[in-house]
Structure 1
Amino acid sequence: MPQLYGIQVLRALAALMVAVHHVQADAGFLAARAGTSFTPSHALPWTAGVDLFFVISGFIMVHSSAGLFDRQGGARLFIARRIARIVPLYWAATTLFLAVLLASPALLNSGAPSLQQIAASYLFWPMSNAAGELQPVYSLGWTLNYEMLFYALFGAALLAPGRLVVPLVCVALAGLVGAQALAGPLPLPFGFWGQPIVLEFAAGMAVGLLRQNGLRLDGRLRWLMATVGIALFVIASGDGWAQTSWGAVALRGPAALLLVTAAACGRNVTAPSALVRSLAVLGDASYALYLVHPFAMRALREVFARLAPSATGLFIVLALVAAVLAALAVYHWFERPMTRVLRRALRA
């Protein structure tokens, strides 16, 4: 299967957007420590990297799993591959977070979780913490709780005839959102699963079907779509309604959809530029970047807090570099080898 460089670039940019959001929060902490001011950039809605991830995820599940449609044992293979891909690194990140929390609670500004919350986190099960927030022990895992719901629905749908897989998943997702909207708030976990952001998985699957059915867009149209997508992100950044659950899907969702469609439905690139190749490498490590960047940034923040708390600009640059380097190292020396080991163990 040829590499889709556009999708790889978007994966890298999505993870970097989330990292920029968090590094600015750490820079604000340093500025407060130094008694200076720090104004974060709102050029883009940085947390919309998650919207990009969800649309990309929907696309990739259709694109990469097409060979499992109408295949005996396809559902088992799909679930096994998803477990091998997602579980090792997330469990490692959660375990590391718990270890740091036990060693230095003040470093993470987090209270001790209950045993039930710890178990729920490892099982990708939505559960409120002591503060009433619907977050796992390692808070970034909230997105993976949605991903695992999507994988479970997709895997179950693979038991049906191939032509019904995507419609069945779309109906299930829409049913959850509709029930939450019309009869909510629903009890957990359905109230969590019924948030409108899950519709972005359906949007991504639609793009996957379009590409699978031969859609290839002209280069100028793709650039136009990407420009409109970025413009919608800019609008969403300054719009208060876009920060609500439905507003995010109405503005950030279509922006992500346009960008993913533009990236996915072009002709295959055989000689990408050095910049595209570099971003594609980071795209491979985007899951690692998403999960490990807070550790790299928080460690560097502690150094700056002692030596140069007012140097927020330098901190931001070095923290992003440290996060990227840490992600590449984790991807090459932990994530990829562990995925291979687990796939062999699960015969996937």
Structure 2
Amino acid sequence: MSVERVDRATHQRGRGTTLGNIQALRGVAALIVVCAHVSGPDGFETRVFGSSWTWRSNLPANTGVDLFFVISGLIMVVTTWRVFDEPGSARRFLYRRITRIYPLYWIVNTAILLLFVLSPASVSFDDGNQTDILGSYLLLPHEGRLPVLVAWSLVYEMYFYLLFTLALTLGRRRFGWVMGAWTGLTLVLFLALGHSSNPYLSLVSSPLSLEFVLGVGIGYAVLRGWLFRPRLVLVVGIVSAVGVLALLAASGWAEFPSDLFRVLGPGLAAALLVYGAVGVEVSHGGTFPRPMQRLGDCSYSLYLIHVPALTLLAAVLAPMLPSGPLVHALTLVATPIFVVVGAYLCYRILERPLQEFFRRSLPGRRPARVASAPRRRGVPAPRDSRLRRWLARS
């Protein structure tokens, strides 16, 4: 059975993308972001205990988003490379991305808005800017916070998906030009505008987009079989990530000096991690422990619900818990476990059924048994059997 046929058959059985190490890194990224909202200046720990032991971990924990962005770039290339020039590929890609992001987000967004209407004091997303309700549902660029605090990163994700849809529409031969033009335009706008007060200009001029491009480059390298010493790269990535996190913790900064700093620091460290992790899986069959991969399965639910979950938990615990270092320490250990369990339930009850429903409704969905499509000119071919097997699951 050909790679293409295996891929289509596994997709029709609902398995989707099965990149073990990438799933594990997704879970790690989401859990890191949870830590940011436990330790933040107005986060869970401060609300419950009135002080924060972990405040220095707040800024380092925000780097989980940079890891997500790099992973997104990789996944988009790997999951579309066979069908890049097929009719309707852009439409199917955008449908999958929209139905992946919006339904669960709309449920969480609605729940937070309803809670705000019923009990404004229990929700804190008002930072002086008027909330654009329609814009929050559409994930449009915005000023200030959205009701779902982490949704600012989903605005970037949707921007990237639109750019990638354009690349699919223009075809594989122009893919490099689209990515190159996007990179160049982003840098020019960043140098010309800096940080713009206009939310749309701020989005298109942000260097954070370059983290997606790093992921795209890694994805293309994997498809070409350019896997240079992945174990060494993974070790270097881990050391680099630890070094960046330590630097941020020691700095005492309340925020990153600039978005460009994020790309050159956390972004590059994330790229090394992703390249090394994928390379180890493809070249040597090495994968992270299965519990980490399962955490990655529910990473989107964890990412969306952890802030409202922490907010509600703080409201319940603040008047109940006695003060004292032992209680403080035990609460810090138990809280992420509580949030992960809640995210897993959300994944099983809401996210996965929604994914299955929209996958079955995919326009132009093909039957499981189809003839193998010939390899098109310009489509990179896997260099070895292990890589072909890995791509068959992607």
- So what's the TM-score if we normalise by structure 1? 0.89
1:259 matched residue in structure 2: 273
| CA deviation map 1:250-272 (0-9, x unaligned) | 21111111111111222436575
TM-superposition CA deviations, 1:85-144 (whole Å, max 9, x none): 11111111111110111111111123499997010111111122xxxx2x3232211000
Which residue number in structure 1 is paired with residue 191 of structure 2?
A: 181
Partner of 1:141: 151
The within-5 A match list for 1:294-333 is 294-308=307-321, 310=323, 311-333=327-349
User: Which is further off, 192-201 or 335-344?
Assistant: 335-344
| Larger Rg computed on CA atoms | 2
- Which residue in 2 is equivalent to 1:218? 229
Aligned to 2:383: none
Matched ranges for 1:3-152 at <5 A: 3-24=18-39, 25-32=43-50, 38-42=53-57, 45-111=60-126, 117-128=132-143, 133=144, 135-152=145-162
3-state SS in 2 of match to 1:67: coil
Counterpart for residue 194 of structure 1: 205
Pick closer, same or farther for the CA change 1:238–1:244 going to 2, 3 Å.
farther
Matching residue within 228, 232, 249 for 2:244:
232
Q: Number of aligned pairs?
A: 338
| Residue 203 of structure 1 pairs with residue 219 of structure 2 | no
Give the whole-Å Cα distance in 2 for the aligned partners of 1:82 and 1:127: 21
1:153 CA displacement: 0.5
Counterparts of 1:42 and 1:212, CA distance in 2: 36
CA distance in 2, matches of 1:194, 1:144: 16
Provide the aligned C-alpha RMSD in A: 2.5
Q: Is contact 1:30–1:309 with CA below 8 Å preserved after alignment? A: no
Task: Supply the distance in 2 between the matched residues of 1:43 and 1:226 (Cα, whole angstroms).
Answer: 21
Counterparts in 2 of 1:153 and 1:314: CA distance versus 1, 3 Å: same
Instruction: Give the distance between the partners of 2:131 and 2:256, measured in 1 at CA.
Output: 33
- Opposite residue 308 of structure 2, the aligned amino acid is F
Structure 1: which 5+ residue stretches go unaligned? none
One-letter amino acid of the counterpart of residue 290, structure 2: R
1:305-326 Cα offsets, whole Å, 9 max, x none, are: 1210533322222221111111
State whether structure 2 residue 285 is matched by structure 1 residue 281: no
Contact 2:230 2:275 in 1 (8 A): no
- State the secondary structure of the residue aligned to 1:292: helix
2:112–2:148 Cα contact (<8 Å) kept: yes
Separation in structure 1 between the aligned mates of residue 139 and residue 36 of structure 2, nearest angstrom:
24
- Cα distance per residue 1:278-308 (max 9 Å; x no partner): 1101101111110011122222212211210
Distance 1:177 1:159, change over 3 A: same
Equivalent residues of 2:29, 2:67 under 8 A apart: yes
Change in 2 beyond 3 A, CA 1:166/1:233: farther
Structure 1 residues 37 and 250, CA gap change in structure 2 (3 angstroms): closer
Alpha-carbon distance, 1:52 to partner: 0.2
For each residue in 1:181-205, what CA deviation from the matched residue of structure 2 results, as whole angstroms up to 9, or x when unmatched? 2145374312223211111000000
- Asked if 1:334 corresponds to 2:344, the answer is no
Cross-structure match for 2:371: none
CA 1:116/1:247 → structure 2, altered by over 3 Å: closer, same or farther?
A: closer
Deviation for aligned residue 1:243: 3.8
Supply the distance in 1 between the matched residues of 2:27 and 2:68 (Cα, whole angstroms): 10
* Deviates further, 230-239 or 332-341: 230-239
CA distance in 2, matches of 1:210, 1:48: 24
Partner of residue 164, structure 1? 174
